[in-house]
Structure 1
Amino acid sequence: MKKICLLIPCYNEEATVAKVVSDFRRCLPEMEIYVYDNNSTDGTAREALGAGARVVAEPAQGKGNVVRSMFRDIDADAYVMVDGDDTYPAEALMRVLQPVLDGRADMVIGDRLSNGSYERENRRNFHSLGNNLVRSAVNRFFGTSLSDIMTGYRAFSRRFVKNFPALSGGFQLETEMTIFALSHHMRIVEVPIDFTERPEGSFSKLSTFRDGAKVLLCIFNMYRHYRPLAFFSWAALLLALFAIAVGVPVVIEYVRFHFVYKVPSAVLASGLFGISVMVFLCGVILDTISHNERAAFERQLKNRNT
């Protein structure tokens, strides 16, 4: 029988964590449930223990740090991760988990957006805007059509969990997971779920603008890392256009008077164009390294499966 573990990262979820543990336990009694308490100042750990979960303290603040420890510490055949705020339905557990158990997916996304439940329930308008912005950016960068990039309800194969590096420290983690899976050609399945707003007495830890800025920075860095040729080609093009804008008046002046009066502009244009060439070459080199890295990753996975 396959070992299945439920992972619940928590920070100050005293009001809801016991219900989350109990609801998921009822849906799959044999599943091991881990609550990682991230420096909560309320009774989160006590409530989780009382509900029958295994509680582990994680001192490094931030959801990304918590998940990094979870993935490193816990061994299983299949994993489910859910937030401890009682916004995700335990009843959808097997629908979310089954593609992993069947070997059809390395990551299953609990999609809150395609059925409209997030739009109906969410009371923070800027969060909906942020979700749509991130989804559009990732789909455009990677040529996909995913519906929900930032959901906290996911299932994973062992292969995903033991290879995901978790570089982010905070709530940009979900975006990083999706980009990692796309970049390494892992199988992704989306399963529609119903989202409900937090119950009374439970409060979101997200800062709309601060965490939104972090997510956008994460996308910027992931694009630079996983698509270096495209990233540096755009940077080189912008520099080259600036060089042309500065250099054209110098060329016109030389054609007319056979003398360069705007020497600083000529030097600046030459320097910018030279830098643009170097930036493009950096993109070519980094793209080669990235390609070799992905090839090595695929060989590593094949060797583990033989």
Structure 2
Amino acid sequence: MLSPKIAVLVPCYNEALTIEKVVKDFQHHIPEAEIFVYDNNSKDATVELATKAGAIVGNEKKQGKANVVFRMFREIDADLYIMIDGDDTYPVECIREMVDQFIENNCDMLVGDRLSNKSYKKENKRAFHNFGNNLVRNLINIFFGSELKDILSGYRIFSRKFVKNYASSIKGFELETDLSIYALHYGLAIEEYSINYRDRPEGSVSKLNTFTDGFKVIKLFFNLVRLYKPLLFFGMVSIVLFVLGILFMIIPIREYFEYQYVYKVPTLIFSIMLIIVSILSLATGLILDNISIIDKKNFKVRYNNTN
């Protein structure tokens, strides 16, 4: 059996302090892999240092991690893709074991799980990140019936089929959430590998904003629930509107039975409107759910036909 062609994908923005080490670590631990560093308008020496270390360097002018990864997925040809950040927070020494697990279990995506290991809480100095990770993980596991431990990890391995079929309209650090939900929605084979996480070295600055990026991730989650589980989303909206409609209707109904006349006509009209919109919302969910089922079937055909 021929060994798979492995590509290491390192999207970068101002990682001059660590990029050389990341490249050399991969060269040492998995020398047969081609290492690609794609720069995203860095203002420091990231490009020069990555080139010096022996990486194949490309660039993406559209700002945002997702834009960089999309270009890498589109331009790089391999059998197996390893995605990792260039900040040296993820361990490379375990990559051989991760690749072996990925191949042996015929995965579509393998995630480097930081949260099962106590090192993440110890090393990560941003308390709200821990809270955000747990919140997003719990929401996704509840809505998609999964048991994933780390939704937001940037350390992943993908199959060629996954990479060549993946599509999204996001731009930035919501990428990991989108990748996880995409795989869950289409029933792809996902596994996790527990890793030791370490915080950025002194002098290296994170590009993440805890609250701004956290809000984007939560917003993306609900947009993806609307897209991938329309009956659940619009069904919940329908129930809320229907209950509100019934509550607003209580007053005019009580008036009618008490006085044989409705004085609060605007309230009655508003309640009827809420109930009508509730029914329309449910109908929308049913229609979109059927479309989603057809999309899943078409995706499976495309996925299985990908070489």
State the TM bucket, normalised to the shorter chain.
Answer: over 0.9
SS at 1:110 equivalent: strand
Partner of 1:217: 219
* Deviation readout 1:102-155 (Å, 9 max, x if unpaired): 352100000011021110100011111110111011101111111100001100
**Aligned with 1:9: secondary structure?**
strand
Query: SS at 1:181's partner residue?
Result: helix
Secondary structure in 2 aligned to 1:79?
A: strand
CA contact (8 A) 2:10 2:37 kept: yes
Task: Give the SS at the match of 2:94.
Answer: helix
Q: What corresponds to 2:6 in structure 1?
A: 4
Residues 7, 35 of structure 1: 8 Å contact kept: yes
Tell me if structure 2 keeps the 8 A contact 1:96–1:154: no
The answer for unaligned runs of 5 or more in structure 1 is none
Whether contact under 8 Å (2:244, 2:274) holds in the other structure is: yes
The equivalent of 2:173 in structure 1 is 171
The offset of 1:260, in angstroms, is: 1.2
Shift of 1:303: 3.6
* 1:162 match: secondary structure: helix
Q: CA deviation at 1:28?
A: 1.0
Q: CA deviation at 1:300?
A: 2.0
% identity of equivalent residues: 48
Contact kept in structure 1, 2:11 and 2:37, CA below 8 Å: yes
Tell me which amino acid in the other structure corresponds to 1:261: Y
Matched, 1:245 2:252: no
Alignment of 1:138-287 (within 5 A): 138-287=140-289
Distance in 2 between residues matched to 1:23 and 1:303, nearest whole Å: 35
Taking the aligned partners of 1:161 and 1:102, their CA distance within structure 2 comes to: 19
Paired with 2:61 and 2:224, the residues of 1 have a C-alpha distance of 26
Give SS of 1:91's match.
coil
Amino acid at match of 1:175: T
Q: Secondary structure at the match of 2:11?
A: strand
- Per-residue displacement from partner, 1:187-230 (whole Å, max 9, x unpaired)? 00100000011111111000010000000011011111111000
Instruction: Please name the residue that 1:99 is paired with.
Output: 101
User: Do structure 1's residue 20 and structure 2's residue 22 form an aligned pair?
Assistant: yes
Q: CA deviation at 1:2?
A: 1.4
1:67 touches 1:166 (CA, 8 Å); kept in 2? no
Q: Does 1:137 align with 2:156?
A: no
User: 1:97, CA displacement in angstroms?
Assistant: 1.8
- Of the structure 1 ranges 100-109 and 15-24, higher mean CA displacement relative to structure 2 is found in 100-109
Partner of 2:92: 90
- The answer (yes or no) to whether the contact 1:78–1:101 under 8 Å persists in 2 is no
Secondary structure of residue in 2 paired with 1:286:
helix
Q: 1:133 & 1:64 partners in 2: Cα distance?
A: 22
Tell me how far apart the structure 1 counterparts of residues 176 and 249 of structure 2 sit (CA, whole Å). 45
Distance across 2 between alignment mates of 1:152 and 1:202: 17
Q: Is residue 2:58 matched to residue 1:37?
A: no
Contact 1:224–1:231 (Cα < 8 Å) also in 2: yes
Distance in 2 of aligned mates of 1:252 and 1:234: 28
Question: Quick check: 1:73 aligned with 2:75?
Answer: yes
Number of residue pairs matched?
A: 305
Question: Could you tell me whether the CA contact under 8 Å between 2:16 and 2:49 is conserved in 1?
Answer: yes
Alpha-carbon distance between aligned partners in 2 of 1:164 and 1:42, rounded to the nearest angstrom: 31
**Which amino acid in structure 1 is aligned with residue 176 of structure 2?**
E
Do 2:161 and 2:306's aligned partners in 1 also have CA atoms closer than 8 Å?
no
Q: Aligned partners of 2:76 and 2:168: how far apart in 1?
A: 15
Q: Distance in 2 between matches of 1:86 and 1:8?
A: 11
Q: Provide the rounded CA distance (Å) in 2 between the counterparts of 1:45 and 1:140.
A: 42
TM-score, length-scaled by structure 2: 0.97
